[in-house]
A and B are shown apart, each in its own frame.
Chain A
Amino acid sequence: MDRMTLSIDGQIVAAEKGVTVLEAALENGIYVPNLCYHSDLKPVGVCRLCIVEIKGRGLAPACMTPAEEGMVVKTETSDIRNIRRTAAELLILNHHADCLSCTKNTKCRLQEVANYLGIDEKRLKRLRTPQRNLAIDSSNPFFDRDMNRCILCGICIRTCDNINGAGAIDFVFRGYNTTVGTFQDKPLLESNCESCGECLVRCPVGALSPKTSQVPAREVKTVCPYCGCGCSIYLGVRGDKVVSSRGDAEGPANHGRLCVKGRFGIEFVNHAERLTSPLIRKDGQFVKASWDEALNLVATKLAGYKGDQFAAVSSAKCTNEDNYVFQKFARALMGTNNIDHCARL
């Protein structure tokens, strides 16, 4: 890989060709305040916090500026500080800062920016506090949208557009009233949102928050049981209960992404109605049975059928190997090509 060197705040750092100034700084452990940047997404340069000074060019958003060999960058000058402070103070003033009751507390990127810049209460007091209270959209069964906490970084919009491809949300209204909304500003549930939650995991603040969340004691790397995609996930466990699920960024099939089932549907594992042993109907009642007993019964009954009298429907929750064996059974043993699978429906 081609490398280049540039100077950031007097340090000579190396970076891969093709990265932006912001990425070069962050990779080298130099924090530059940023909110609308996300490594999975194309930068848009709208939060204006990452403004840096580039020798010979003046001020520019670091997230939008390709790093170049020999570039001389300053991330801190009194000018930059003033611009950042104005933006950050206004953001904080307009953000419902109920940090202690927020799911993002301590993991919030606005807090990170505030910590870095140092916010002075006295300065905030000079400003006019907005009296805005937007309704929380809790229509989605898995997560809530509280636009009072939104900083309009647009990350959720770009995620929905470019990562999921659903395009369920966009900026709506103008000026100060601008917010993120659905077509005709309907509740999320009535939009073409697929509830994948990809936006939820990227929101830098607590504007998008899961309805239920328990902090796991430990995480176990596994493969999502829902379909044949083989998404790599980390299941969070407390005691012997699964309490959370998140995509594994290293997963070759999913690169950290998940769909609604893998992210929010994992509670079936500990569900009270989950079947854990075979049941056989006796006198109209289901009665628990051993696997040997159940398989013997099935074998006896199936012996009475042959060829196209029989059809096989298998499940996406089974492994590829299981499905392979099952179709072999249908074709070779039962003598039929009547084979189908739930993922085709």
Chain B
Amino acid sequence: MSFEAARQQATKEWKELQSGAVPLVYIGTATCGRSAGALRLLDAVRAELDKRKAAAQIVEVGCLGMCYAEPLVTVRKPNGTAVCYGNVTKDRAAEFVENCIVGDKPPADLVLGSIGEKSVPGVPDLFSIPALRPQVRRILRNCGSIDATNMNHYLAHGGYTGFARALQAGREKVIAELRDSGLRGRGGAGFPTWRKWQFCIDAKGDRKYIICNADEGDPGAFMNRSLLEGDPHVVLEGLLIAGFTIGASEGYIYCRAEYPLALERLRTAFGQMEKYGLLGDNILDSGFSFHVKIKEGAGAFVCGEETALIASIEGKRGMPRPRPPFPAVSGLWGKPTVINNVETLASVALILQNGAAWYAQAGTEKSRGTKTFALAGKVKCTGLIEVPFGIKLRDVVYGIGGGILNDKEFKAVQTGGPSGGCLPAAWLESPVDYESLAAAGSIVGSGGMVVMDEDNCMVDVARYFLDFTQKESCGECVPCRLGTKQMLDILKDITAGKGRPGDIELLLELAEGIKRGSLCGLGQTAPNPVLTTVKYFRSEYEAHIHEKKCPARVCKPLIHYRILTDKCKGCGLCLKNCPATAITGENKKIHVVDQSKCVKCGVCLEKCPRKFSAVECVPGAALQ
């Protein structure tokens, strides 16, 4: 079957699916859905349908990104209306089948919004709800709406037309298109993709390689995983285009072994591509041959760094080496190699499908297009989001994120994971793009975004990130191996109440030496969380060091619990629950915390009835 015929067939199939005579039920069963119980829900819905002998077609799809509302289910009725539901847990399966699939009485607490042109009375349009309105879903456009294991679904949505176009247009045109699009690498550094490819084209080598970096080692980041699970073909199309353009006939996907579902999706996709003649020798009779291998990473953060990643594929210990030479000149097995992030390759496919002009409609002059972020932390609506560059941080935190949990005070937003920085409220008006975040001392990075509120101690946050980088340092170069440990030890001291005058200056001095002295990006960026928290929250460091107080009441040695004599009614709940038997007091008499026994677990504060609120957590160690 020719590619065009296959596409037509796929489009026809998709149309038939959408206009079927029975309800169509999309259940999100990517990893995030599964961890919220989507597979159990799937079984329960099936059993319930069987019980009622009700006909419905179930399609397993990827993740729509609304983690706060998983498991997510969308039901499309034969009349063409489609409604997306959230928090559909297994226990509500019977009710759900009854009211949402078979009947038409959707419970208000499950409804998120309607999808498609046909509106449903009383139900808002899904893409106009606050969590989705500011988003521009391009890379994630198929995630949550197609079956990732069915290549026809991808073909029916313009799949592989970008690659077909590239084959026809030739490599110079592809490079020109990418240059015009302004696409910059999504793996962290934001290097112009076309330029990297051009370097590789210009490099001499009897063989060239393309590698897709799916290591995704930043703690809390899952953008790449979601995309690979929800729409693997868009990444593979980008990989094919890259291979064709730089003249590589072999590609690698470096994906961590902790992503079993993504790996399974990739392997399934390879088989389908082979069937359609999109992988192997002489692809679509173009004379271009391409083969892909998967290398499963063992989960070291540093293996995301390109030279360490190459060492790992070569079977060596994953340690970076100094550049130059850059991989585009001497990479895998010493051959010219391009390494691109998952999202970069997906963007390449979209650009070739829709054109550079379309791509550049979103974003700013220097940061074009859209970027996915894993929005986490103290916001109401966490999840995977896709926004155009240039969006204000405020619109992400308060718009998409729905504001701070329990309406507490916003304190900071951390972007760029362990290599990034913490930005205070003053930066909320700043646009999200490569230049603005860099000017603030942070980075776009691969897309981690953690929101913090008044209950987060910024010294403790810095300590957390340093603990991570210190453990993940490959240990090869001196400033990173020993410097991050030294900074961590100082931060540990500060949070333990053992900070010394001069420690802040010492941290800054070490940071400078580590940033400028380290061999690879890990060490060069590891001090960023400390630098930004010192820059924007210096008073918290000073309170820890000089006053021995943790203003956010996080660092245990720098807080204490006490019972307010004017509020305690002597109910004894705190006493009963204290695991350290640190509380004494008789019934109806004022209770007291014995500070020498207290382990600062905070149970007393939790247990004291709201109406009394007699327990207080106070910054600073107790006076004995």
Contact = CB atoms under 8 A, between A and B. Distances in A.
Interface string A72-97: 00000001001111110011011000
Contacts of A46: 476-478, 519
A64 B322 contact: yes
B497 to A, nearest CB: 15
B470 interface: yes
Interface of A: 44-49, 51, 59, 61, 64, 79, 82-87, 90-91, 93-94, 126-128, 130, 151-152, 154, 170-171, 173-178
Contacts of B319: 171
B485 A175 contact: yes
A152 B482 CA distance: 11
Given A128-B490, A130-B485, A82 B474 contact: no
Main secondary structure, interface of B, reads: helix
Contacts of A93: 482, 486
B512 interface: yes
B527 to A, nearest CB: 11
Given A128-B486, A170-B317, A171-B317, A86 B514 contact: yes
B438 to A, nearest CB: 18
Interface in B466-515: 470-479, 481-486, 489-490, 493, 500, 502, 506, 509-510, 512-514
B475 A48 contact: no
B157 interface: no
Contact of B478 (A79, A82, A87): A87
A178 B470 contact: no
Given A47-B478, A94-B482, A178-B475, A86 B517 contact: yes
A173 B478 contact: no
Given A48-B518, A48-B519, A59-B516, A176 B482 contact: yes
Contacts of B481: 152, 175-176, 178
Given A126-B506, A175-B475, A90 B482 contact: yes
B485 A87 contact: no
A60 to B, nearest CB: 8
A84 to B, nearest CB: 8
A86 B483 contact: yes
A81 to B, nearest CB: 10
B479 A174 contact: no
A175 B482 contact: no
Given A46-B477, A176-B475, A82 B513 contact: yes
A48 B489 CA distance: 22
Contacts of A79: 516
Contacts, number: 111
Contacts of A174: 300, 471-475
A45 B514 CA distance: 15
Interface in B166-221: none
Main secondary structure, interface of A, reads: mixed
A177 B475 contact: yes
A126 B502 contact: yes
B141 interface: no
B291 interface: no
Given A171-B476, A176-B470, 19 more contacts: A45-B322, A45-B477, A45-B519, A46-B477, A59-B516, A83-B479, A86-B479, A86-B509, A87-B483, A90-B478, A90-B486, A94-B482, A127-B506, A152-B481, A170-B317, A174-B472, A175-B471, A175-B485, A178-B481
A151 B474 CA distance: 14
22 contacts: A44-B321, A45-B519, A48-B477, A48-B479, A51-B517, A61-B322, A86-B509, A86-B510, A86-B517, A87-B478, A87-B482, A87-B483, A90-B478, A90-B483, A93-B482, A94-B482, A126-B502, A128-B490, A152-B478, A175-B485, A176-B485, A178-B473
B473 A91 contact: no
A125 B486 CA distance: 13
A176 B512 CA distance: 19
Contacts of A178: 473-476, 481
A82 B322 CA distance: 20
A154 B484 CA distance: 20
B483 A173 contact: no
Nearest to B318: A174
Interface in B296-327: 300, 317, 319, 321-322
B516 A83 contact: yes
Contact of A175 (B473, B489, B500, B518): B473
Contacts of A151: 478
A130 B479 CA distance: 15
A59 B482 CA distance: 21
Interface in B313-355: 317, 319, 321-322
Nearest to A35: B478
Contacts of A82: 509, 512-513, 516
A231 B44 CA distance: 79
Contacts of B478: 46-49, 87, 90-91, 151-152
Contacts of A59: 516
B82 to A, nearest CB: 48
A345 to B, nearest CB: 34
Contacts of B476: 44, 46, 152, 154, 171, 178
A44 B321 CA distance: 7
B48 to A, nearest CB: 49
Contacts of A130: 485, 489
Nearest to B321: A44
Contacts of B471: 174-175
A51 B322 CA distance: 12
Contacts of A85: 513
A150 to B, nearest CB: 11
A91 B517 CA distance: 13
Contacts of A45: 321-322, 477, 519
Contacts of B506: 126-127
A23 B555 CA distance: 51
Nearest to A83: B517
A18 to B, nearest CB: 16
A244 B517 CA distance: 40
Interface in B239-259: none
Contacts of A177: 475
B332 to A, nearest CB: 18
- 4 pairs of A and B residues whose beta carbons are closest in the complex: A178-B475, A86-B513, A90-B482, A128-B489
**Which of A83, A84, A170 is most buried by chain B, counting CB atoms within 10 A of its CB?**
A83
B60 to A, nearest CB: 37
**Which of A51, A87, A91 is most buried by chain B, counting CB atoms within 10 A of its CB?**
A87
A32 B477 CA distance: 18
B327 to A, nearest CB: 16
Nearest to B503: A126
A176 B473 contact: yes
Contacts of A44: 321-322, 476
**Which of B500, B512, B516 is most buried by chain A, counting CB atoms within 10 A of its CB?**
B516
Nearest to B325: A64
Given A45-B322, A61-B322, A82-B512, A87 B517 contact: yes
Contacts of B322: 44-45, 61, 64
Nearest to A79: B516
Nearest to A176: B485
Contact of B513 (A83, A94, A128): A83
A243 B509 CA distance: 49
A263 B299 CA distance: 42
Contacts of A176: 470, 473, 475, 481-482, 484-485
B493 A87 contact: no
Given A171-B317, A175-B470, A176-B470, A152 B475 contact: yes
A178 B481 CA distance: 8
A170 B481 CA distance: 16
Nearest to A84: B517
A188 to B, nearest CB: 19
B514 to A, nearest CB: 7
